[in-house]
């Protein structure tokens, strides 16, 4: 039997009289290194439902009840909590933060024949080799990140620094494949993997510098990192001595605030609050600033995207019947802070734009961090189908 701490959830919503509540499980890694991602996902999900329901928190007259569970980033616990949620007759589930935990949850969705919307885990296997028909992903995957980054690099030499776990290795694998897929002539010359919670990057960074310093220009050190980013520590080792430029992936706003000294550095990102122009994002930015005195971050937007998918699906299928939901969601379009997204029929991956950014030289306020170089449309990201359906 699960302990009370594991089993307890946070419930939002109430009794709708004769109409039964629509029950949604939101599983997130609220404890551990990815806690901030989980917190943002929950905030975005609840704000998304608020926006889409006009504050009523109901769909087709049925009240929405969201049950939040903390899997602590542990695959075994994620699997257990999802099974518990399905046993408790939730209509649909959303989660989770860690790719390892998300992968462990996929067979549970198949066993129970219940829909799982994956957000924000990015491992390619989720909509690839480990996928099943009950799995839909609103989050981007590693290959979408990689294709966006590769689209900005046409030649030269690349080395990667990543965390030594599913996300990091997936990101580097995708990065190499993306360079080939986009026709880039850039060559990958080295890969370094550091512990997830590493704080000393001296040795791996020196190896990266040694591998890059005599290779053709431009020389790019690409960083794929979840959580506190090592960019500042690497920059302190002066890569410019060897003609090496850093290429950070997008990160949380508090992390990117520390990058001001690297104005002009370019990278690619899944979401930055100032880039999309649409009603949903305008509302999210204004309301988030009002409530939290800061703009929404990338995982807040991801949570809101998941809410958009859940809302659209349950509108189409008022009964929340699983098989009808699967049929309705294949190819379905839904609102998100990035605009209208669509689930690809073949693998249920949400196709979406990405953004090429430059760190601002002149920042008007503490959150005026990035300028948009270009929105990269989904149509320019040749995302392969890998689930062998």
Domains of the chain, by residue range, sit at: 4-140+277-351, 143-269+354-380
Architecture of domain 4-140+277-351: 3-Layer(aba) Sandwich (3.40)
Cα 114 to Cα 303: distance, rounded to the nearest angstrom: 20
Cα 102 to Cα 116: distance, rounded to the nearest angstrom: 10
DSSP 385: P
Q: Does 335 score more than 90 pLDDT?
A: yes
Count how many Cα atoms sit within 13 Å of the Cα of residue 149 in the half-sphere of its side chain: 30
Q: Hey, do 4-140+277-351 and 143-269+354-380 end up sharing a CATH topology, with the first three levels equal?
A: yes
Task: Look up residue 233 and give its two tokens.
Answer: 């520590």
β-pairing, 157-163 vs 187-194, is: parallel
CB neighbour list of residue 187: distance below 8 Å, 6 or more residues apart: 156, 157, 158, 215, 216
Angle between helices 99-112 and 75-87 (to 10 degrees): 30
For the entire predicted model, the pTM comes to 0.88
What are the respective helix, strand and coil percentages of the chain, to the nearest 5? Answer: 40, 25, 40
Task: Look up residue 362 and give its two tokens.
Answer: 């002149």
Of 219, 275, 271, 273, residue with least CA distance to 250: 271
* Digit-coded pLDDT (tens) for 81-132: 999 999 999 999 999 999 999 999 999 999 999 999 999 999 999 999 999 9
Cα 33 to Cα 17: distance, rounded to the nearest angstrom: 41
State the residue for tokens 């990192």: 225
Of 126, 88, 92, 87, residue with least CA distance to 107: 126
At 163 the three-state DSSP class reads strand
Q: Does 354 score more than 90 pLDDT?
A: yes
Residue 131 backbone dihedrals phi, psi, to 5 degrees: -70, 155
Q: Does 9 score more than 50 pLDDT?
A: no
At 64 the three-state DSSP class reads strand
* Digit-coded pLDDT (tens) for 173-204: 989 999 999 889 999 999 999 998 899 999 99
Predicted pLDDT of residue 13: 53
At 140 the three-state DSSP class reads coil
Cα 67 to Cα 103: distance, rounded to the nearest angstrom: 21
Cα 138 to Cα 308: distance, rounded to the nearest angstrom: 9
Question: Where is average pLDDT lowest: 5-9, 34-38, 277-281, 351-355?
Answer: 5-9
CB neighbour list of residue 290: distance below 8 Å, 6 or more residues apart: none
Q: Does domain 143-269+354-380 have CATH number 3.40.50.2300?
A: yes
């Amino acid at each position: 039997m699960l302990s009370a701490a594991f089993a307890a959830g946070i419930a939002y919503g109430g009794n709708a009289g004769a109409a039964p509540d629509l029950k949604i499980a939101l599983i997130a890694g609220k404890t551990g290194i990815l806690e901030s991602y989980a917190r943002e996902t929950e905030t975005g999900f609840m704000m998304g439902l608020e926006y889409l329901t006009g504050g009523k928190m109901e769909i087709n007259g049925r009240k929405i009840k969201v049950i939040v569970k903390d899997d602590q980033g542990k695959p075994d616990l994620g699997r257990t909590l999802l099974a518990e949620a399905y046993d408790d007759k939730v209509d649909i589930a959303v989660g989770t933060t860690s790719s390892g935990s998300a992968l462990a949850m996929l067979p549970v969705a198949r066993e129970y024949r219940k829909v799982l919307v994956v957000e924000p885990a990015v491992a390619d296997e989720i909509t690839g080799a480990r996928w099943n028909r009950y799995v839909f992903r609103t989050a981007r995957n590693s290959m979408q990140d990689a294709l966006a980054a590769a689209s900005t690099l046409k030649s030269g030499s690349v080395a990667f620094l990543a965390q030594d776990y599913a996300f990091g290795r997936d990101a580097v694998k995708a990065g190499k494949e993306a360079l080939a897929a986009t026709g880039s002539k850039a060559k990958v010359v080295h890969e370094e993997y550091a512990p997830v919670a590493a704080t000393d990057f001296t040795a791996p960074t020196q190896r990266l510098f040694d591998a890059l310093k005599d290779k053709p220009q431009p020389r790019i050190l690409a960083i794929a990192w979840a959580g506190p980013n090592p960019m500042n520590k690497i920059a302190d080792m002066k890569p410019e001595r060897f003609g090496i430029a850093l290429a950070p992936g997008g990160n949380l706003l508090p992390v990117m605030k520390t990058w001001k000294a690297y104005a002009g550095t370019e990278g690619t990102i899944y979401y930055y609050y100032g880039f999309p122009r649409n009603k949903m994002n305008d509302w999210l930015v204004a309301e988030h600033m009002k409530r939290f005195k800061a703009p929404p971050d990338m995982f807040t937007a991801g949570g809101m995207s998941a809410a958009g998918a859940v809302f659209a699906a349950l509108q189409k299928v008022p009964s929340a019947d699983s098989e009808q939901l699967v049929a309705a969601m294949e190819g379905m379009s839904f609102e998100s802070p990035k605009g209208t997204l669509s689930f690809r029929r073949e693998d249920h991956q949400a196709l979406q734009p990405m953004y090429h950014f430059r760190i601002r030289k002149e920042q008007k306020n503490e959150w005026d961090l990035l300028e948009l170089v270009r929105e990269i449309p989904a149509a320019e990201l040749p995302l392969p189908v890998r689930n062998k359906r």
